[in-house]
Amino acid sequence: MEAVIFFIAAIGAVGGAIGVVAARNPFYSVLALIAHLFSLAVLFLLLTSAFVAAAQVVVYAGAVMVLYVFVVAYVGSAQEAKWDPVPGQRLFAGLLAFFLFVEISAAVLSSGLRALSTHGPDVPAGFGDPAAIGNLLLEKFLVPFEASSVLLLIAAVGAIVLAGRKRQGEALGASK
Amino acid sequence: MSGAGFAAPHVDYAATAPIIALTVGLVVILMSGVFETTKRWAPGLAVMTLAATAGLLLWHWNDQIDLIAGALRVDNLAISISLIAIVSAFSTILLSIRERAAEEAGQGEYYALLIGSVLGMVLLSEAENLVTFFVAIETLSIPLYILCATNLRREGSLESGLKYLIVGSLGSATLLYGMAFIYGGTGSTDFAGIAHGIQANGMLHDPLILIGIALAAVGLAFKTSIAPFHQWTPDVYQGAPTPITNFMAVATKAAAFAVFVRFFVVALGPETGDWQLGLAILAAISIVVGNVGAIGQDSLKRLLGYSGVAQAGYMLGGIVVASEKGLSSLVFYLAAYLFMNLAAFAVIVARERETPYGDDIRGVRGLMAERPSLAWPLTISMLALAGLPATAGFIGKLYLIEALVEGSYTWLAVFIAVGTMISLAYYLRVVAAMWMGGEETAAGTSAAPGATPVISGASPEADPVDPEAGRRWYLLAPAVIAAGITVFLGVIPQPLVDFATHAGSSLF
């Protein structure tokens, strides 16, 4: 049963990812991304990480995707350039991606990790539930947790600086 | 319920005081930006924050403390790198006085972002856990993305910020990918736990760990602008406001190298034999690409960007040998690089405001006749970056080469020597432009005063011409003092050698 769900979710994830890059219409790209993120959430569930799966759906498939949709609707599907900005870029990028794929496959397949081809490690009860993650954030990872709050503050300040920039530019344009 | 087992970690407030000081300073500066009257205090508050942090850091000199469940470690390496970042930020505050970018971003926001970046650097140099490492590197980078774009009326500035954002995010993603492999293979996020896991799980030379190391090295190479991951460097350096370029060039490199060496020596210590050669090759490529790329650059900031790529290659040599001597020479070189670069950037800021040429090499033509007090610091800086004797740059390269030879990487030492010779070509070109080519050459190439010269990356209306900028204390003092220290350390290097040796002894 687990294996069946895994393959359905895995195919969904890969298919969604391909859809994101392959779709011509940005809206379809965003929809494909949602499918991709949902499939990932299912994979997280299979790894007994209920909290991460929920966060994935709420934060990414929910909040972040709404932002994406807004941006796409706001900017509109402007005609994108059909030509490569750098000659041979697509071929080169494809080759690089292929080599990275081969490299990572080789690394994973030839790894000496013992649990790779088994059903996976036996996790203790309560592993990955919100309480356990909350404990981790406030015990082991207290510093990164606090630092992230400063990071968010800085990011908010940065957003205001850049938004203020546009206002000033408009004021400048109006005064001309 | 697992929540019942919550045990708050022990927090050593004395040792976390520098970080707390920076955070408090950041918030206070941000709040000072709210009112018209307190706005002007922002630079002063930033200086006070930095001074307090430096004092609190020095208080822990020679301590070795693991903090808060092994997230941070205060030792001499972390303290010395943090001090380099703080001095660099202090000089940036001086250079930012009357800088357009600071006005346009808002004083409070500009300096708060600067302090935020310093906070990231202090955290990064102390990090000994993968999660802290990643959050710190983002805390360092995100303010810089914004600061690069703060020069509102220059198109290059926004381009620079966007380019840095995209390339920086790519670097972060690569780094994170590498971290995931390393965590997957070892089952630990602590640096010491990773080293233990590599041995205990039989993961030594395992492809999974090796690809993790490779991806992490690439991610860090993006941050330290090591070739072939350096393409963003010249563009971003040129487009960013010059004081910010000064900060990025030194402080970012210092903090990234600190975590580079801590991660590779402490966490990946068992794999030393596997990563040494790879990093050595990166260093060699960086030295060649940086030095060759700098030849023929007309923009001084681009020139210093390429020179920074080459210098990063030299410094990477200190990590390659994975020895106490190598680490000491790395810290020595970073400290020397701070002063060498500062002297150059202070002069560039002054000339940007004085002349209509921006950071073009024409701006310094005939400088020796016009403003000897600016020409001397730039001359000393260029000669020191090239590594001429009686400057800190020479001693720094000497130590690096010595460490490389002792660590049996003589071929990389040869690369440094050859790179130094190539670098003379472009450093001396700047010196020659200053000492020769007086008014007549300048008149031959430039349009009439007040006209709009077409120079890429610089538009005259963006930078108000302040004909007296070269005499302002806040530009003259950093240039002269930095040049003075560069020469002083070249003649009497012992104080800095002691400083660097203490830092080097903290990992080995």
**CB neighbours of A88 closer than 8 A, spacing ≥ 6?**
none
Give Cα A113 distance to the centre of its chain: 26
* CB interface of B with A, residues 427-446, below 8 Å: none
A120–chain B Cβ distance below 8 A for any pair: no
* B410 within 8 A of B279, measured Cβ to Cβ: no
Q: Which pLDDT does position A82 carry in this prediction? A: 60
Per-residue pLDDT, A175: 44
pLDDT of residue B446: 42
Which parts of chain B sit beneath pLDDT 50?
1-3, 440-462
- CA-based end-to-end distance of chain B: 43
CA torsion through residues B161, B260, B121, B472, sign? negative
For residues B47 and B8, is the Cβ–Cβ distance under 8 A?
A: no
Nearest alpha-carbon partner for B230 in B221, B238, B239:
B221
d(CA B347, CA B155): 23
The alpha carbon of residue B57 is apart from the nearest alpha carbon of chain A, in Å, by 18
pLDDT of residue B441: 45
- Please tell me the distance from the alpha carbon of residue B357 to that of residue B350, in angstroms, as a whole number: 12
Intervals of chain A under pLDDT 70? 76-85, 114-117, 119-121, 165-176
* pLDDT score, position A165: 61
pLDDT for the residue numbered B453: 44
CB A135 to CB B1 under 8 A? no
The domain segmentation of chain B, as residue ranges, is 273-440+465-508
B8 touches chain A (CB under 8 A): yes
- Residue contact A134–B152, C-beta within 8 A: no
Round to whole Å and give the CA distance between B468 and B355. Answer: 10
Q: Is B96 exposed, middle or buried (0-12, 13-18, 19+ CB in 10 A)?
A: buried
Task: Please give the interface size between A and B, counted as residue pairs whose CB atoms are below 8 Å apart.
Answer: 129
Interface pTM, i.e. ipTM: 0.84
Closest residue to B71, CB basis, from A144, A151, A153: A144
Say if the Cβ atoms of A107 and B104 lie within 8 Å: no
pTM of the model: 0.87
DSSP-derived 3-state class of residue B255? helix
* Contacts by residues A62-65 (CB-CB < 8 Å, ≥ 24 positions apart): A65/A30, A65/A33, A65/A34, A65/A37
The whole-angstrom distance between residue B404's C-alpha and the CA centroid of its chain comes to 22
Cβ separation B132–A143 shorter than 8 A = yes
CA of A25 vs chain B CAs: smallest distance (Å): 23
Residue B404 class from Cβ within 10 Å (0-12 exposed, 13-18 middle, 19+ buried)? Answer: buried
| Rounded alpha-carbon distances, angstroms, from residue A76 to A22, A31, A69, B341, B457 | 18, 15, 10, 45, 31
How far is A151 from B140, CA to CA, in rounded Å? Answer: 9
Taking the C-alpha atoms of residue A130 and residue A143, their distance in angstroms, rounded to an integer, is: 19
Asked if B224 and B316 count as a contact pair (C-beta separation under 8 A), the reply is yes
Q: What is the pLDDT of residue B460?
A: 44
Pure H helices in chain A: 2-22, 26-46, 50-55, 65-75, 89-109, 130-138, 142-175
Q: Which residues of B286-295 are buried (b: 16+ CB within 10 A; e: fewer)?
A: bbbbbbbbbe
Round to whole Å and give the CA distance between B204 and B271. 7
Instruction: Estimate the share of chain B in helix, then strand, then coil, as percent rounded to the nearest 5.
Output: 75, 5, 20
Residue of A nearest to B10 (CA): A139
Report the 10 Å Cβ neighbour count for A34. 19
The distance of A3 to chain B (nearest Cα, Å) reads 21
Rounded-to-integer distance, Cα B250 and Cα B89, Å: 10
Neighbouring-strand partners of residue B72: B67, B127
With b for 16 or more beta-carbon neighbours within 10 A and e for fewer, the A47-76 pattern comes to ebbbebbebbbeebbeeebeebeeeeeeee
Distance between B393 CA and the closest CA of chain A, angstroms? 35
A40-58 pLDDT, tens digit each = 999 888 888 888 888 888 8
pLDDT, position B443: 42
Residue of B47, B62, B49, B53 lying closest to B16 (CA atoms): B53
Is the CB of residue A175 less than 8 Å away from at least one CB of chain B? no
Contacts of A150 in chain B (CB under 8 A): 23, 26, 116, 119, 139
pLDDT for the residue A176:
39
B150 contacts chain A (CB < 8 A): yes
pLDDT of the residue at B452:
44
